[in-house]
Amino acid sequence: MTAVPCADCASAPRTSAGRARRTCGSTAPTSSATPGQLVAVAEDPGTGRPLTETEVSYVHLTDAALLRSQARSALAAVSAPVVLPELTVHADREPVLGSYQVGDDALVVIKDVFFPEGTRFGVRITGIEVTPGNDAGEEQVQLTVTPATSTP
């Protein structure tokens, strides 16, 4: 990772590796004597996934080492793929299948041996997959969810 003055993050050094994660941090021009930006690029080429790039701007930073540290932190924050949780529910129990759809917010309430006092959290439904019932007629619904920004 290097800190180099350049016009903007688009001119930051690039590698030819097809699979990597890269974060480019930049600052505002430090003074009229040095009109270029400081740019720090943090890269992890060994991910085995397609190239993803992130750009962040820190207008008040003038220290190249601090900017490199911020770029490494931003890279670490997006280092792993996002795994969305899935919940499996019975289609014939409340709320019944058809009373909710993709995009709806839901309040999940769990009370069992693992959570004897109960736990509750808000989610947004991002996917619905229905498994037809077996011989006992137990149709199941698998909900893919993401944390909700607000609780319904």
Which single residue is written with the structure tokens 């930049």?
26
Quick one: what percent of the chain has pLDDT higher than 70?
66
| 22 in Cβ contact with 7 (< 8 Å) | no
Task: Give whole-number Cα distances, 15 to 20, 21, 65, 90, 140, in Å.
Answer: 9, 11, 21, 50, 47
Between 17 and 144, residue with greater pLDDT = 144
Give this prediction's pTM. Answer: 0.49
Segment 119-147 mean pLDDT: 88
Listing DSSP states for 24-40 in one string gives: EEE-----SSS-SEEEE
Segment 77-87 mean pLDDT: 77
Confidence of residue 68 (pLDDT cuts 50, 70, 90): confident
Between 66 and 127, residue with greater pLDDT = 127
**Ranges of each domain in the chain:** 3-77, 86-147
d(CA 91, CA 140): 5
